[in-house]
Amino acid sequence: MEDLNRRTVLKAGGAIGAAGAALAVGAPAQAAPWTWKPSGSVPGAGRGADPKQVWDDEADPIIAKLLDRGQVPEVNRILRSWTKNGQPLPAGLPKDLRDFLEHAKTMPKWTDQGKLATAVKFNQKRGTYLGVLYGFASGMMSTIIPREARAVYYSKGGWDLKDRITKTAKLGYDIGSLNAYQPDGEMVVTCVKTRLAHAAVRHLLPQSPWWEHVATEKKPISQADIMVTWHSLPTSVMRNFKKWNVPIAADESAGFLHSWQLTAHMLGVQDEYIPNSWHTADSQAKQVLDPILAPTPEGIKLADTLLDLGRNLDLSLLSRPVLGALTRFVLGDKPADWLNIPREPVWSPLLETAWGPYVAIREGLLNVGMPREAYWLIDEFLRQFVLFYMSELRMPINIEIPVFNNPHYN
């Protein structure tokens, strides 16, 4: 059986993890009142302010000024050459932006290089599962996170969803790289450029009458919103690993968490909102993620587009029915019903009965008990999943600051 390249799978999973009538079916979903204590955070202390009312006071005013001065296209051109963590900033940037970037690209004092090295071991061992979960637990979950779905749909990302997911893919790929946070890696640059893009969306999206008409917030992408998306990634991964009985060494679990803690920090999340353990992460997710999942017209349209990305390709196992069945299997029946994803007569029962033994075989815990054909089908799906998304990610990917919202809706 062909052994999938784990970094390739991570890159592929990150790609579909990009995206993500009444306003919603039933009453709008609401996050619980903020009661999570900063004692459970990385520094163990903080103001305890509600993150739904906190954005990015450092990046937002700078990017707003650049947009108002018409300087963003030139800044994007200059920043295309900045790709490596240890690379000096290119010449020609406005002074206020340069000063911000010098600060923003500095790793926090609590960075633990030993844990980052252990995270590499975790990613090498679990790459196959991570590709699936980044794609279907997180990528498709983003379409039932109302604020995220609306922000994507009405911003530039909704204008060119394929471009948006390839850029989001870069984060999923870079964090799984062997040198993610090393000087020759790219994760720091990817996070900081994403932070700039978020700041631009905060400035631009409130100017959209379409977004303003449906939004439940005055400004998008709050600290709470970023942590909701964060939980759809590592927290959801660990929840599914537990459900699938994937054995994980304690040091590798801690290393994986640390890599994502750093990612939150580099994306501009204040340390007091970053959980210090998987236990506190799960407790925060129960407050900010689980209660708010719900369908929206925008999310349903995004999901429909994501499920059709394999159309017209000679990849039989990357069809809409297969992608839909995997989405239903990973997210569950209720979210799949929200997204109008039918239960598939072949793939749905196959995944329900064969995925557990498949994981056990991968982990060396089971040698028999699963038909060879079922094992091959799952492996072949993953191979085709990689082939398609690799075709989208072969060109250099530049994360840029947007200058307009989505001008097209359907």
How far apart are alpha carbons 229 and 174 in whole angstroms? Answer: 17
* Helix, strand, coil percent content, the chain, rounded in steps of 5: 60, 0, 35
Measured at the CA of 73, the angle between CA 71 and CA 77, to 5 degrees, comes to 115
Query: What pLDDT shows up at residue 368?
Result: 54
Each domain of the chain, given as residue ranges in start order, spans 6-20+51-292, 297-392
| Predicted pLDDT of residue 10 | 42
- Residue pair 153/142 in contact (Cβ under 8 Å)? The answer is no
C-alpha distance from residue 60 to each of 6, 97, 243, 300 (Å): 36, 11, 39, 30
The H-assigned helical ranges of 217-319 are 223-230, 236-243, 250-266, 278-288, 297-307
Average pLDDT, the chain: 85
Burial of 225 (0-12, 13-18, 19+ CB in 10 A): buried
pLDDT at 381: 64
Helix 372-392 with 161-175: angle, nearest 10 deg: 110
Q: Identify the segments of the chain with pLDDT beneath 70.
A: 1-32, 162-169, 309-318, 365-396, 409-410
Q: Please answer whether residues 145 and 292 qualify as being in contact, where contact means their C-beta atoms are separated by less than 8 angstroms.
A: yes
Measured at the CA of 380, the angle between CA 376 and CA 384, to 5 degrees, comes to 175
Helix, coil or strand: residue 367: coil
